[in-house]
Structure 1
Amino acid sequence: MFRVLFFSLFLGTCYGQFPRACTDDLSLSTGRCCPLWPTADGTGSSCGEALGRGTCRQIQPDDSPHSPSYPYVGVDDRERWPTVYWNWTCECRDNFYGFDCSECKYGYVGPNCTERKVLIRRNIFDLSWWERRQFLRALDESKTTVSERWVIPVTPYVDFLTNGTKPAFANVTTYNVLAWMHYYVSRNVLLPDGGVFESVDFAHEGPVFLPWHRLFLLLWERELARFVDDENFAIPYWDWRGLDGCDDVCTDDFLGATPQNISGLLSNETVFSDWQVICTRDDEYDALRTVCDGSPEGPLLRNPGTVPDYSSLPTWQDVRDVLELDQYETPPYDRSANFSFVNTLEGFASPDGIASVRSYLHNAVHRFMNGTLSSVGSSANDPIFIIHHAYVDSIYEVWLRKFRPNVSALIAENAPIGHNRGSYMVPFIPLHTPEDFFTLTTDFGYEYDYLIVIDVAWWEDLGFLKFYGMLVGGMMIAGMLLVVTVATTRRFCCQARQIYRPKIRRIVRVPVGPDPAETESSGGETETTPLINKQEPQPRYAVVYL
């Protein structure tokens, strides 16, 4: 009974950055994000330790040197994440997970997190009508429901340094927490001297790009599943290879139509036309020396295909080319790297691996949309972000399965800040390093439908309609061949009978007269040879084969 009470109290608790339970004065002053589970004696148990779920451990950040592209120390709260806020967090045991160890690791379910479960991510156009409506409902409800678990910090870190200001936090919806995360990880640094440093990004332009977004999508997927109460829920992907435009997914049946107008506003027939975006005014934040606080800043915008250099989407060949690059990352481990798979897939190099100022692949899709999705800080406001990045993640998975790299492919030091192999990825709690997500999707309990290999009979693999179509077609062809064979055989048989049919010659015994010489010697009398038994002569036949 007591165990059931624990789960009822913590069922809604989740993992995540800035958990509400860890932003109270006591947690921040002690630097401990180790929420207490209730115990019989009333003292509480950090991280559910009394139940064997986890323990509170001191954080040991990786201090390997990063590249000199970031020349500052101690001016931003994302440095040495998350030690500006907490120095102690929960370390969960076995398959338990979450900032308080109340969840299961990705890919596990059950009260003790011992049951394996695999979700299947499918092409958004292969979803049934009901599945599509479920996905859209999850998006809209997450956009309009204030998160009970998370908050976002709204006090610039520079104010901590200069004024000793205590951090303040704001309530936002679940969707907006996730959109804010993408802004937070890429925003500029407000310097104590009044300046702004822009050349920094803890999730892009470096090796962490793919592992970071893999974890980000897993987090998003689990949150959306809560709104539809479906443990089998999986986010779909959008395979954009070679499409002429956004006419397929940019419809009111999917993620919102974009009428032909220069405003970029969505159709009034879609719920997404009512959405308000956040964290879109980087220049304004920098000028006012503040940060995004989650306030609404206007409607979602999209104007696909209207940028001259990005009027089409990446091609099939572009994807084939990037999958030929066998090195995950190459020096200098940033957007200028050549023949780097991660840099090329992100889009800072042409598909053959040569670094370029033009955008390709992942980046090109963002640019193509010409709207909210086109800016790094604001892009996660557009739900197309989810299905686009799910497909990028699937390309990452194809590469991992093809080359089976060791974690040493991730650079251990001298990568951009936040991108070293051992760096904790900002702003995730529980803590994860890039190498944790430099492995196959099956380790996290999900698969992409087009990568699943199933041992089935060839006719099952064809599918019902194709199999029976081939069966009927094969029977028709066999019947036609049989008719032709029979007709041809009869024709040749007839010709053979004409050629080889026996010729019959009838031979009749006839009277045979005497030799003329004898006739003359006998006085000219003639005697007829009598018939056998005085009957009609019996005919004889000779068979002659000509």
Structure 2
Amino acid sequence: MDRALGLACSLQFLGLAGAMIPLPCASHAHVWAGECCPVFWGDGSPCGAATGRGRCQGVAGPGAPAGSDFRARWPSYFFRRLCACRGNYGGADCGECRHGWQGGSCQLRHVVLRRELASMSPGQRLAFVRSLDLAKRTLSRRYAIYASVNATPGAPLAFRRATVYNVAAYLHYLGSKTVGTPRGPNYAHRGPSFLTWHRMLNVHLEQEIRNITGDPSFFVANWAWQGRAACDVCTQQLFGASRPDGRLYPGSVFSSWRSYCTNDGPFTGNMSVICPLGNEMPITRLNGWNWDIPRSVFRGFPSWQDYYACLNLSQYDTPPYDANSRFSFRCALEGFIDPLSPADWGIHMHNAVHVLCGGTLLFSHQAANDPLFTSLHANVDKIFEYWRRRNPRSRYPRGQVPIGHGANDYLAGFIPVYTNEELFQHSVHFGYDYEYT
């Protein structure tokens, strides 16, 4: 059930790892030196130090034991020194603005309204679809990934270029690899950071698409799935309609998409193999469910009653801070407990949507390959943001949380680095808001 929901430079001295690495730092020398402080083009100095934008500074990852799983020591497994940007400057080299700011000196507040697909005009929806497709076809000019050269366990690792969208799919794939047991937490699911980690993934993709389109107003559109009877955005004009076999009908731009990081074979759930090339598969979506699941644990698409019951849970998360947390807003929204009966396990809210859409979205390690993932999770984030505003005194948990889910843990895979507690702020801190009706 966990799986279903839930430059080529070999650096063998690092063991088994993978990461989203800024292109200027994608070299043996940078990783060997443990430093990623790129030169800002505007003044020719590392981190823009000459013009006061930032400085190269030590950064310590969590004190996890040494091992092959880089996520336990992010980012110090790769880099012990990164750019620390001052004021409203941001980016890996401090050469851009922090999320939510713009202008020559990053002095102007910039907050974009993420709109619901249902309220957008046909032209606006088409522009959104075309921007996602452009991201799938455009090589990232900012990041490389670090992956196995083939599907043999323990094969050498190498830097590799990837498209803007595939970098994001790769990040989610890494976050979905389990820790310890197949049903245990991982770095992006089954724990408190489910909402913070996925928040940053969409913020990252949003910014990357703005960079390649030159449109600072681009936003990840929201699909409000509560109260639906079926996937009403799975049309040829939006995310593509499905054939009986799950493949998307020709005519949708997404019918030509191929999934990324789907060649792990039996090693999907561990770090022995990291995103080797090959075996890229078409996007599939079943839009239905024919497994014999008792109605007591699975009612189909979340209802408005489920939605309001979830919002009415006052505790962000509860011990043991995993898929077994009861009376937990996070666990209810993620979908492991019934919002209407929060002491009972079930398949609800976010998890139910993944299950009902099926196909590529059914398996957590490959789910982000379906472009529908972006808008599905924008709605998860909107519900999270609405709950935060209804519970202004809530705090991110500081108990015995799973590894990677701590308040001060850095979100695995992201440079610049962010902690879970930072992502627990209101969305306007990251340059976006939502329509609330």
Superposition pairs of residues 209-228 of structure 1, within 5 angstroms: 209-228=194-213
| Partner residue, 1:233 | 218
Q: 1:455-486: CA deviations, max 9, x gaps?
A: xxxxxxxxxxxxxxxxxxxxxxxxxxxxxxxx
Q: Distance in 1 between matches of 2:71 and 2:429?
A: 28
Superposition pairs of residues 356-395 of structure 1, within 5 angstroms: 356-395=344-383
Higher RCO, 1 or 2 (CA under 8 Å, sep at least 6)?
A: 2
Q: Distance in 2 between matches of 1:305 and 1:49?
A: 55
SS of the residue 1:312 aligns to = coil
Cα pair 2:148 2:275 within 8 Å, conserved = no
User: Which one of the candidate residues 115, 121, 139 is aligned to 2:114?
Assistant: 121
Deviates more, 1:51-60 or 1:280-289: 280-289
| Partner residue, 1:169 | 159
SS of the residue 1:450 aligns to = coil
User: Which one of the candidate residues 175, 185, 208 is aligned to 1:185?
Assistant: 175
Q: Letter of the aligned partner of 2:172 in structure 1? A: H
Superposition pairs of residues 395-474 of structure 1, within 5 angstroms: 395-406=383-394, 409-450=395-436
Q: 1:377-399: CA deviations, max 9, x gaps?
A: 10000111111100111110111
SS of the residue 1:224 aligns to = helix
Cα pair 1:180 1:294 within 8 Å, conserved = no
| Partner residue, 1:104 | 97
User: Which one of the candidate residues 85, 101, 110 is aligned to 1:92?
Assistant: 85
Cα pair 1:122 1:449 within 8 Å, conserved = yes
Superposition pairs of residues 277-296 of structure 1, within 5 angstroms: 277-285=259-267, 289-295=272-278
- Decide which structure has greater strand share: 2
Q: Residues 39 and 398 from structure 1, CA distance in 2 versus in 1: closer, same or farther, beyond 3 angstroms?
A: closer
| Partner residue, 2:51 | 51
Identity percentage of aligned residues? 38
Q: Residues 448 and 431 from structure 1, CA distance in 2 versus in 1: closer, same or farther, beyond 3 angstroms?
A: same
Q: Distance in 2 between matches of 1:30 and 1:258?
A: 49
Q: Distance in 2 between matches of 1:356 and 1:199?
A: 19
Q: Distance in 1 between matches of 2:144 and 2:360?
A: 23
Cα pair 2:226 2:304 within 8 Å, conserved = yes
Query: How many residue pairs align between the two structures?
Result: 412
User: Which one of the candidate residues 319, 330, 350 is aligned to 1:331?
Assistant: 319
Q: Distance in 1 between matches of 2:333 and 2:204?
A: 22
Q: Distance in 1 between matches of 2:271 and 2:344?
A: 33
SS of the residue 2:82 aligns to = strand
Cα pair 2:60 2:75 within 8 Å, conserved = no
Residue 356 (structure 1) shift: 4.6
User: Which one of the candidate residues 273, 288, 301 is aligned to 1:313?
Assistant: 301
Unpaired segments of 5 or more residues in structure 2?
1-18
Q: Residues 353 and 49 from structure 1, CA distance in 2 versus in 1: closer, same or farther, beyond 3 angstroms?
A: farther
Answering whether residue 269 of structure 2 is matched by residue 266 of structure 1, we say no
Q: 1:110-139: CA deviations, max 9, x gaps?
A: 111000112011111211222111111111
Residue 199 (structure 1) shift: 3.0
Q: Residues 131 and 140 from structure 1, CA distance in 2 versus in 1: closer, same or farther, beyond 3 angstroms?
A: same
Give TM-score scaled by structure 1 length. Answer: 0.71
Answering whether residue 143 of structure 2 is matched by residue 150 of structure 1, we say yes
Q: Distance in 2 between matches of 1:355 and 1:272?
A: 40
RMSD over equivalenced CA pairs, Å: 2.5
Q: 1:395-438: CA deviations, max 9, x gaps?
A: 101110001034xx322242000001011111111111111111
Q: Residues 39 and 176 from structure 1, CA distance in 2 versus in 1: closer, same or farther, beyond 3 angstroms?
A: closer
Residue 282 (structure 1) shift: 4.4
Give TM-score scaled by structure 2 length. Answer: 0.88
Cα pair 2:220 2:375 within 8 Å, conserved = yes
Larger Rg: 1
Cα pair 1:152 1:172 within 8 Å, conserved = yes
Cα pair 1:46 1:55 within 8 Å, conserved = yes
SS of the residue 2:433 aligns to = strand
Cα pair 1:36 1:47 within 8 Å, conserved = yes
Cα pair 1:266 1:273 within 8 Å, conserved = yes
Q: Distance in 2 between matches of 1:238 and 1:197?
A: 30
Q: Distance in 2 between matches of 1:281 and 1:315?
A: 36
Q: 1:8-59: CA deviations, max 9, x gaps?
A: xxxxxxxx9311111212211100010123588xxx5211111111111111
Q: 1:349-390: CA deviations, max 9, x gaps?
A: 111363555311001100111100111110000111111100
Q: Distance in 2 between matches of 1:82 and 1:282?
A: 24
Superposition pairs of residues 43-82 of structure 1, within 5 angstroms: 44-63=44-63, 73-82=66-75
Q: Residues 153 and 327 from structure 1, CA distance in 2 versus in 1: closer, same or farther, beyond 3 angstroms?
A: same
| Partner residue, 1:348 | 336
Q: Letter of the aligned partner of 1:270 in structure 2? A: S
| Partner residue, 2:3 | none
- Decide which structure has greater helix share: 1
